Amino acid sequence: MCYACEDMSSFARVFAIVVVLAMIGGAVGGWFGLRYLEHRWTFIPDKYDPGAPWEIPAGVAEVSFPTSDGVRLHGWFRPGQAPRNGVTVLLMLGRTGKLPTFKYEIDAMQRRGFDLLLYNYRGYGKSEGTTLSEATLVLDGRAALRYLTEERGIAPGSIALVGISLGAAVAVDLATSSPCRAVVLIGAFASLKQAAKYARPWIPDFLLDHLESPFDTVGKVAGVNCPVLLVHGESDKIFPLFQAEEIYQAAPLPKRLIVVPDAGHWRPTRSDNKYFDQVASFIISGK
């Protein structure tokens, strides 16, 4: 009998088992590691701190409303300056920031006659809960839209959906399931995979194909139910201009792309009031 042969065969079986277990362990670790990093990079909640300044602009009413899964969100509603134009803007924010951060946008919309609702996602600002994924962001956006249509009686066709950065993905999702006046995407990205490939090119494609929150704006935008406007900074280093151009190419007519020269990310309209004038004109006219 060849005892050496039996020892080698046993060793080979044990080695194979160890390799398989190591591969399974690596795959499981990689999966959970991807989930952790995806969440950490995508959502940066800026919670309300009672000890920090929280300035409420004049004329703003604090409001709250529930999501379909029972989370209460906090927001601000501000009527437009007379003469009001009959359009309400629902503003979806980016991956960070409390409501007072957006005082400039609030004032700009109010001066142009728009009523405005902006709110914090769950776990942001004074909103309850925790943002977990794209799915919870969409639930929050639908709750805000429901608040406008059901509690305030505003017709969906007179609501403009405006999304900034991460909020642009939420705005597009809402615009595919509800009538709207217009959808405005400021500093948008084509998809989370595209954004990750640009910012972190070392992540393998096969992992990016399994993101929990794909934020596939370029894949969804063809299904929107209203005119589409994109506003993007020419020098945006976070989500380069080509991502907005991809969304624009995929969007249905009527559509428009405004490229702001020398501007960076997420507030390309802040440098010059004429860009807010163009946004307002598009929302009113649809072109």
One pLDDT digit (tens) per residue for the chain, 287 residues: 554 445 444 434 443 443 333 333 343 444 445 566 787 778 999 899 999 889 999 999 999 999 999 999 999 999 999 999 999 999 999 998 889 999 989 999 999 999 999 999 999 999 999 999 999 999 999 999 999 999 999 999 999 999 999 999 999 999 999 999 999 999 999 999 888 888 888 888 888 888 888 999 999 999 999 999 999 999 999 999 999 999 999 999 999 999 999 899 988 776 667 899 999 999 999 98
Do you find a cis peptide bond into 254, omega within 30 degrees of 0? yes
Interatomic CA distance for residues 38 and 210, integer angstroms: 11
**CA nearest 161: which of 92, 59, 66, 258?**
92
Q: Look at residue 224 in the predicted model and tell me its pLDDT.
A: 97
pLDDT on residue 131: 94
Report the distance separating Cα 241 and Cα 164, nearest Å. Answer: 15
Question: Residue 173 has which token pair?
Answer: 């999702």
Helix or strand (DSSP H, E) at 162: strand 159-164
CB 75 within 8 A of CB 91: no
Decide the pairing of beta strands 72-78 and 115-119.
antiparallel
Which residue in 51, 96, 53, 98 sits closest to 74, CA to CA? 98
Q: Which helix (H) or strand (E) holds 20?
A: helix 3-42
Element (H, E) at 115: strand 115-119
Residues 120, 110 contacting (CB under 8 angstroms): no
CA distance 93 to 95: 7
Partners of 76 in the β-ladder: 62, 118
- Determine if the peptide bond prior to 83 is cis (ω within 30°): yes
Q: Is the dihedral of CA 172, 165, 161, 228 positive or negative?
A: negative
Scan for tokens 């000890």, then name that residue. 51
Distance between CA atoms of 181 and 149, rounded to whole angstroms?
13
| pLDDT at position 28 | 40
Residue type, 77: F
- Interior angle at CA 244, CA 274 and CA 159, nearest 5: 60
Burial of 149 from C-beta contacts in 10 A (0-12 / 13-18 / 19+): middle
